[in-house]
Amino acid sequence: MTLHANSDAVTAHSPTAAETGDRIEQVKISLAFLPLATPVSDAKVLTVRQKPLTEVAIIFAEIRTRDGFEGIGFSYSKRAGGQGIYAHAKEIADNLLGEDPNDIDKIYTKLLWAGASVGRSGMAVQTISPIDIALWDMKAKRARLPLAKLLGAHRDSVQCYNTSGGFLHKPLEQVLKNVVISRENGIGGIKIKVGQPNTAEDIRRLTAVRQALGDDFPLMVDANQQWDRETAIRMGRKMEAFNLVWIEEPLDAYDVEGHAALATALDTPIATGEMLTSFQEHEQLILGNACDFIQPDAPRVGGVTPFLKIMDLAAKHGNKLAPHFAMEVHLHLSAAYPIEPWLEHFEWLNPLFNEQLELRDGRMWVSDRPGLGFTISEQARRWTVQTYEFK
């Protein structure tokens, strides 16, 4: 991997960024569609709110500076939104040209103002995400540190659990096989999907998985927002016996009060936050005491910059952290969280990158590669349908 074109820049006596006055010279935005091997269903599909998921839209940002430094970042969207994010990125990305790439907060504010008319959450900030992530990647590469180390890590590895083996389109027998495979591959926990219209079926699957894992192996469930308040408390009480690490998204993602009441009523911890799309939405969740585990998603909330603000607030309030999806970015962020976090293992994005994360002893390990530690694969280039370059 070439960190940057100018090899002089990595020597011990190389000039600092401040001395050279390095500036952003080129920004490339790409839209790719990552196909999934089989259509994927969670409870939202079984309650007929969504169609099975067949692909993930990926929006890459690749940023280069005059001195030859490079940063890559990505955002994503499931089902809809990828084309919209790409189109909005084309509208705002020229604001980066000529900026000092180290002034990430200044650039973030500039991009927010460029798109002020479409707000400070949702697609507006999901457009900034790949750019912001790329700038942090570049900053860490310039410092020749993994991003976790640049941020100030509390640990070199993060305990991680598998989600992809426990979706609802998979028959129970397959889920049980996946559980065994995950454990053999060194995974530290298993999460299965629940929230089906037939709650007895949820309990049947959960009972079988708990029996297969034994009483103490970390196990979580995820209802993907498909229970009303009454069902959530009934199911929560039934599930107390299963020694779960958490119950995820029992209620509508924006029901702060409902989550807070549930978290108070149950011994089992409550986790939520993956659907929220800004710092401000997470702030409401945290200040509303809505959950034990907060689950922000860096591409979804607007990148590393707002994610760090969420981490600060959550740590102050004693929340645990279990970021959603995008382990390639979240490994670094969760390594820098003061309270022992959980990382969600999703192998879906593996084909996009030339490098793979190391899973061992139930944990995902931060590599010694600088930045995020990833380069974009040829396969990702083949899945790319649109590219736009600013110079």
Q: Please list the active-site residues.
A: 193, 324
Taking the complex as a whole, how short is the minimal distance between the CB of residue 215 and Mg ion, in angstroms? 24
**Least distance from Mg ion to the Cβ atom of residue 170, Å:** 16
**Residue 222 or 281: which CB sits closer to Mg ion?**
222
- Residue closer to Mg ion (CB basis): 43 or 150: 43
Residues 6 or more apart whose CB falls under 8 angstroms from that of 371 comprise 71, 136, 137, 138, 140, 141, 146, 147
C-alpha distances in Å from residue 26, one per residue of 96, 101, 160, 234, 379:
8, 11, 36, 55, 23
Measure the CA angle with vertex 53, ends 47 and 56; round to 5°. 145
Q: Which two tokens stand for residue 141?
A: 């590469």
* CB nearer to Mg ion: pick between 307 and 374: 307
CA–CA distance, 9 with 16 (Å, rounded to integer): 9
Of 44 and 142, CB closest to Mg ion: 44
Residue whose beta carbon is closest to Mg ion: 222
Burial group, residue 220, by CB count within 10 angstroms (0-12, 13-18, 19+)? buried
CB of 161: closest distance to Mg ion in angstroms?
11
Burial class (CB in 10 A: 0-12, 13-18, 19+), 216: exposed
Least CB distance to Mg ion at residue 291 (A): 12
Cβ atoms of residues 72 and 4 within 8 Å: no
Min CB(223)–Mg ion separation in Å: 9
Please spell the DSSP secondary structure of 253-315, one letter per residue.
TT-HHHHHHHHHH-SS-EEE-TT--SHHHHHHHHHTT--SEE---HHHHTSHHHHHHHHHHHH
| Contact set with Mg ion (CB under 5 A) | 222
Give dist(CA 114, CA 124) in Å, integer. Answer: 10
Q: Closest CB to Mg ion among 137 and 222?
A: 222
CB of 46 to Mg ion, least distance (A): 15
Contacts with 250 (C-beta within 8 Å, 6 or more apart), sequence order: 223, 225, 227, 232, 235, 236, 259, 262, 270, 272
